[in-house]
Amino acid sequence: MAEADTNRETELKLAARPEDLETLRAAPSIAARATAPAVTRTLESTYYDTEDGRLADRRVTLRVRRTGEGFVQTVKSAPDGDGLGRGEWECAVTAAEPDLTLITDGEALDLLGPLGESELRPVFTSVVERTSLDVTFGKGDGASSIEIAFDRGEVRLPGGGATTPLSEVELELKSGSPADLYDLALELSRLAPLRLETRTKAARGYALAAGEADAAVKADKLRLDSDTTVEGAVGRIVRACLAHLAANEAATLKGDDPEGVHQMRVALRRLRSAIALFRPFVPGPQYLWLVGEIKWLAGSLGPARDWDVFATELLAPVRDAFHRADGHGRSAVEDIDALAAAAEARRLRAYETVRAAIGSERYTAFLLGLGAWVEKRGWRDQPVSEDSVRLFGPVTGLADHLLEKRHKKAKRAGHGFAHLPVAQRHQLRIALKKLRYAAEFFRSLYDDKPVRRYLQELAGFQDALGHLNDVATATRLLHELHEDGSRSAPGEPRAAGIVIGWHARGVSDGEAELVARWHDFLDTKRFWSKHDGVV
């Protein structure tokens, strides 16, 4: 049997509604670019792992695919930090089970680690009807060859277990520029509603197996190396933010887990912070477009997040306490229940706005435009200057400078913290968020222990300030509760006063600890350069 073929797979996935796949397949603009007739096949792929999920932990996939011609075994690595590519090693096998003896490539063996075939078990299977064709995209010698695959099917657990549907378009680069994948995706998105899909079939299968299909996810830890250039850091950071944003769409659209919309907003804040961090290297018109789209999307998601926080973190504990306690009178309990019902109605309407934004052409155009901007290195489209030249230098020294700058801004914003009014504490919280995101972006460039200590102090203080902001936001939300013309229940004002009073007392009681946390943060040694340890 021949040695496994080594390849670097470069692809872009787009989620599509099942009813739109035929529209996309039959589009004249696609047919005109086709270099051969479309081929339709049924692909049945079974993914294998150990009982303790060692391959999943390494973000490595091992599958055996049944096609009309036989069986193909494939090993895939995690996506590259620098783009859409990932390692892929394929070879023919004689049956539906893996044959590890055929894998001889050193990189693939390192990814799999010590592994015996007896340890492997099927985790899930994807069954897909795929129609694929090759197209030429672009003009002249610079044109790219791209395979378009229209997939419809499902992921299944063994033994007739749970399933999750699949309906997507895969664009795989055969030759040419990865940026053309985004340009082709933008063209397809004008024919039918599409969304960027950052989750692989394997990722969705593992989530299904864990009972976490369409669950919210936090940002992955970012990896920068000491030889990463400034523009390399920009690309990796923006890609990470884009992946984090898109990975939480499904959970947000379901609307039953507040963490989904929260993580999308975190991704947007991280993205905006990154764009601001590298602003000297981004041409003005590009910067304005990026910030404008981020503001639009964050504004569309914001009310849903505000009402989620009000319902789960502010109203719920007060409501639970009154339901458990005696002596408050039935009327107070009824008033708080009425307030909860009104707040839930507003929350549901806010999620309608979220779904409309995510389903809009503008949203898809923003994500694909952002991806294309990174792949094309759009920031290079500027005159040569001292700043633009620094794009090609190492990011290490710049990271020290940017972290120190963010730290000093936070220190200035918190000067005289014990006497700062709420509005200025909110500005301090924003400065701390920017500092925290910068530290998370660059943390892999430094020793982990001091970074971890610094981030723990920073995050703890930032979270405490976040509660202050939530209480202030609650006051605004209660004033806006019926601005849509809905009718207020008679006891709602009383219930609103109870909720605000409850948390105002908590804020007052926690003031001494909050001031102490601020001083603990100031005393924390900075990790990015040598200091005496005291700011």
Q: Which residues contact 199 (CB under 8 A, 6 or more apart)?
A: 13, 207, 247, 250
pLDDT in the model for residue 142 = 85
CA gap 461, 474 in Å, rounded: 20
72 by DSSP, 3-state: which? strand
Q: DSSP 3-state assignment of 8?
A: strand
Residue 158 — φ and ψ, nearest 5°? -60, 155
DSSP state of 282: S
Diameter of the chain measured on Cα atoms: 82
Q: Give the model's pLDDT for residue 21.
A: 96
First-to-last C-alpha distance (Å) of the chain: 65
In single-letter form, the type of residue at position 69 comes to: E
pTM of the model: 0.90
Q: Note the pLDDT of residue 45.
A: 96
| CA distances from residue 309 to 343, 347, 411, 470 in whole angstroms, order as listed | 11, 10, 28, 7
Residue 223 is given by DSSP the state: -
**For residue 375, which of 207, 192, 171, 190 has the smallest C-alpha distance?**
171
Block residue for tokens 């990154």: 274
Position 487 scores a pLDDT of: 84
Residue 342 has a CB neighbour count (10 Å cut-off) of 20
pLDDT tens for 465-502 read 988 888 888 888 988 888 878 888 888 889 999 998 98
Round to whole Å and give the CA distance between 479 and 13.
43
pLDDT score for 531? 41
Q: Is residue 376 classed as helix, strand or coil in its secondary structure?
A: coil
User: For residues 187 and 162, is the Cβ–Cβ distance under 8 A?
Assistant: no
- The backbone region for 16, taken as left when phi is positive above 0, alpha when psi lies in -120 to 50, beta otherwise, is beta
Q: Kindly report, residue by residue over 445-457, the tens digit of the pLDDT.
A: 999 999 999 999 9
pLDDT digits (tens, 9 = 90+) for 206-252: 999 999 888 999 999 999 999 999 999 999 999 999 999 999 999 99
Mean pLDDT of the chain: 91
Query: How do the pLDDT tens digits run along the chain, 535 residues long?
Result: 344 455 778 999 999 999 999 999 999 999 999 999 999 999 999 999 999 999 999 999 999 999 877 999 999 998 776 567 789 999 999 999 999 999 999 999 999 999 988 999 999 999 999 999 999 998 878 899 999 999 999 999 998 888 999 999 999 999 999 999 999 999 999 999 999 998 889 999 999 999 988 899 999 999 999 999 999 999 999 999 999 999 999 999 998 899 999 999 999 999 999 999 999 999 999 999 999 999 999 999 999 999 999 999 999 999 988 887 655 555 888 899 999 999 999 999 999 999 999 999 999 999 999 999 999 999 999 999 988 899 999 999 899 999 999 999 999 999 999 999 988 999 999 999 999 999 999 999 999 999 999 999 999 999 889 888 888 888 889 888 888 788 888 888 899 999 989 888 888 888 999 999 999 999 999 999 754 333 3
Q: Which residue reads 């912070």 in tokens?
A: 273
**DSSP helix/strand/coil, 423:** helix
